[in-house]
Amino acid sequence: MSRAVLSIGSNVGDSVAHLQSVLDALGSSVVAVSAVYSTAPWGGVEQQDFLNAVLVADDPALDAPGWLRRGQEIEAAAERVRTQRWGPRTLDVDVIVCDDLRSDDPHLTLPHPRAHERAFVLIPWLDVDPDAVLPVGGELQRVENVLASLDESERAGVRRTEFALNRRSR
């Protein structure tokens, strides 16, 4: 089985519906989904806050590039347009980790090269896997420790919302 941790985010249009569309598209392969968090934009581009969540999915038919393609298909269905790096978007689906795979491929770097810097990934990930580990600097580290090493302002900028995403059977 191929297990992937996916970070999903949206700050254009009906963000909750865009996030829900990921769960709907992945169907029964979703095994866990975090709470939805509101997060200040990351990357220095002026824009409205994001809604973010993390999900864990298992699918024996998908390898790491398959998860990337599937995420891009779901983004395309949400009319994602890539015009500005770290800019506003209807939907962003990032593969954070896939099994224990490490890859320096320019199209899919695993683990995600900036996951360890992003509280909006780490906090929801801990919702679904309190024992999660992430390779950082060549060493496997507990996600809770990686999160604790981030600046307090980064952690405080991630706020749990009342929104909920629902796994639905197909």
Q: Which positions are annotated as active-site residues?
A: 80, 89, 92, 94
16 to 48, 140, 162: CA distances (angstroms):
14, 33, 11
Dihedral sign for Cα 142, 50, 52, 4, please: negative
Q: In angstroms, rounded to a whole number, what is the distance separating the alpha carbons of residues 48 and 44? A: 12
Say if residue 124 is preceded by a cis peptide, omega within 30 of 0.
Answer: no
- Could you count the other beta carbons within 10 Å of the beta carbon of residue 23? 20
